[in-house]
Structure formats: structure tokens, C-alpha cells
Amino acid sequence: MDTVVVKNLKKNYGSLTAVNGISFSVSKGEIFGLLGPNGAGKTTTIKMLTTLLPPTSGEASVAGFNIKKNQNDVRKNIGIVFQDPSLDDELTGMENLEFHAILYKIGKEKRIKKIAEVLELVELEDKANVLVKNYSGGMKRRLEIGRGLINEPEILFLDEPTIGLDPQTRRHIWDYIKKLNETHKTTLILTTHYIEEADYLCNRVAFVDHGKIVALDIPKALKDKLGGDVISVQTSGEKQDEFVKMLKGSKWVKTVSKHDDFVDLTVEEGEKKIPEIVVLAQKNKIGIASINLHKPSLEDVFIHYTGKTIREEAGSAMDNMRAMRNRFTRR
């Protein structure tokens, strides 16, 4: 049973298209990920699905309710953890939860019970009466996740839930998200630009690039589509395009893509093909700075579909945003 259905959803800001006709569905109890660089349209999509932004065109239903016609019903059935911190640092953890519960008009008796349950779930019982300004980054994120659950939502939206956290804390947050899904069967929709986060958490992943979904499937299936091993060759000199052409002409090479000074190719029995690649490069006077072999990752899949790494795309998106900001500032 699908609890979220999106059809040709689009969002324009003047001449800029942030989301370009995306379609997908999310099953009840699923962890669904929107994976892509900053500026790809992930957050804009979340904002439309949570009724914070009106779509330019297209349709979507969340928890069975139309996002344009039944906004209040949508809001009653969802929780949101925003990308940017939104806690009140001058209140305690418990006070933050209570304030949020009051906004949802939860009665006092149920409110007390629910706050206690949430604090236990995110393991902050002993910090309930501590001011949030004294919380660590990980504790704040856990509290925000708990706050998003206070109204017992059918669907919880997590927008870049671990951004800015150190790797160890990030992994702890992943475990809380997994626990939440397993124990409460809550449907989770998250955005991320962390490859390992999507791979670890999500039942299915949609790659978002320039406002479009370029691939969607379970992580294993996405990686299996490349097949075999991935050999990443860092070239030196100005013959990269010539090298790519040679590799594409080799029968044992399945796919070839390039980004920066790297050429990635998928092959079977990669360890046996490395000597052939080296010999081919030497014969044609193509310099090799480094070469490594690994099994396909979601990063490799993203490169296959877009020709760039997520990190490169994130940088490009940030540059575009700065350029737009500067243009409007000068007006």
C-alpha cells in the first residue's frame, strides 16, 4: 500500500526550475531516500510534500490526502525534521517537546505520556530538564527527531538528518532512525547527499540530479546494474578523452565514465584487467597517476548516470546559488 504518491511534480522559481516533473511512490513502513547533491531539488520536493511550498504543477498525495486540497489533513499525519536547527536553545528538552505537543493540541494527560515515550526512544530521559543550548549536536538532532514523532505521524520527513555531525554521531543517528522504523513501523522519507547514509538506511533510493529523478531502485539493484568490478584510473596529461575512446572499444569493458582526471570502468574479474589497462596506457603514452579496484557503490551508480560525483555536483550547485544571490544583490 502506497502512503505517498507523487506524479509529475514541478516547482519553478521564475525561470529557474528547481523540481522538474518528478514521479515516485512510497510504501507504508518504507525508508525511502532522495539522494543527490545540494541544490538538486531534494529539499524543495520535501517542502512541497509537507505543504510548506505550493507546487507549480503536478499532483501528490501524502497519507491519502492531496497536498493542494487537504493541507491540514496532510500536516496532521506527518512529522518533519528540518535541515536547519529549529529548537529553542533557551528551553529544556522537555519544554521543546511540550511546546510542540501543545501546537498539535494534544491533551495534557496524553502529552505527558507521549513526551516520556519520545524521550526514552531517543535516549534523552536524563537530559530532559537540561537547556538545549547545553546539548551536543547529536543530542539536538535526536531531540528534533523525537519532536517530529510527538503527534504520532504516519510519515516522518527527515531533511539531511545528519548534516554537520561527526561520523560517529552520524552513525548513532542512523541507528536511531533504523530503530524508529523497526519498532514503530513509521514511514520515513529522507533527503541526503551522503552516499553511505542512503546505502545503510534506505529500502529504496531515488537519485535526484538537476530537479529530475535519474534512477530509482533498491540500493543493491542499483549497484548490480553496473555489474562486475569498478576500476578507477587517475590519468595525467591531456590524453584522457583518447584513453576513454580506447577503453570503450575494448570488448571486456562494460561501461566507461570520466570525471575530473579520473576514468571509471566496470569489468568482470577486475584484478586480471588492471595489467591490460596499464599496458594499453603505456603503449599510447598515457600517464597513470593511480589505479584502484572496488565493487560498485552508489557513488559509482551516480557517476554512471550523471558523469559526476555527488561532491562535484554539490560544489557546482553551491556555485550556481552564489551566482544567483550575487546577481539579485546587485539589483
So what's the pLDDT on residue 308? Answer: 82
So what's the pLDDT on residue 1? Answer: 81
State the residue for C-alpha cell 568482470: 268
Between these two residues, 165 and 62, which has the higher pLDDT value? 62
CA distances from 127 to 17, 65, 143 (A): 44, 37, 10
Read off the pLDDT band of 52 (50, 70, 90): very high
Read off the pLDDT band of 277 (50, 70, 90): very high
Sheet holding 65-66, edge to edge: 16-27, 2-13, 57-62, 65-66
Architecture of domain 228-295: 2-Layer Sandwich (3.30)
pLDDT higher than threshold 60 for residue 331:
no
- Same topology, domains 2-222 and 228-295? Answer is no
Q: Flag the least confident range among 87-96, 248-257, 313-322.
A: 313-322
CB 31 within 8 A of CB 202: yes
CA distances from 40 to 50, 52, 63, 263 (A): 18, 18, 25, 24
pLDDT higher than threshold 50 for residue 170:
yes
Q: Flag the least confident range among 186-195, 201-210, 241-250.
A: 241-250
What average pLDDT does this structure show over 26-51?
Answer: 95
So what's the pLDDT on residue 121? Answer: 84
So what's the pLDDT on residue 325? Answer: 37
Between these two residues, 176 and 327, which has the higher pLDDT value? 176
Between these two residues, 327 and 301, which has the higher pLDDT value? 301
Over residues 283-320, the pLDDT tens digits come to 888 899 999 999 999 998 998 888 888 865 444 443 34
pLDDT higher than threshold 70 for residue 60:
yes
So what's the pLDDT on residue 312? Answer: 52
So what's the pLDDT on residue 321? Answer: 36
Read off the pLDDT band of 164 (50, 70, 90): confident
**CA quadruple 154, 159, 160, 166: dihedral sign:** negative
pLDDT higher than threshold 50 for residue 227:
yes
Q: What whole-number percentage of the chain has pLDDT above 70?
A: 94
What average pLDDT does this structure show over 40-69?
Answer: 96
The structural domains of the chain, with segments of one domain joined by +, span: 2-222, 228-295
From the candidate CATH numbers 3.40.50.300, 3.40.50.2000, 3.40.390.10, 3.40.50.720, the one assigned to the domain spanning 2-222: 3.40.50.300
User: Could you tell me the pTM of the whole model?
Assistant: 0.83
What average pLDDT does this structure show over 217-230?
Answer: 91
Three-state helix/strand/coil letters over the chain: CEEEEEEEEEEEECCEEEEEEEEEEEECCCEEEEECCCCCCHHHHHHHHCCCCCCCEEEEEECCEECCCCHHHHHHCEEEECCCCCCCCCCEHHHHHHHHHHHCCCCHHHHHHHHHHHHHHCCCHHHCCCEHHHCCHHHHHHHHHHHHCCCCCCEEEEECCCCCCCHHHHHHHHHHHHHHHHHHCCEEEEEECCHHHHHHHCCEEEEEECCEEEEEECHHHHHHHHCCEEEEEEEECCCHHHHHHHHHCCCCEEEEEEECCEEEEEECCHHHHHHHHHHHHHHCCCEEEEEEEECCCHHHHHHHHHCCCHHHHHHHHHHHHHHHHHHHHHC
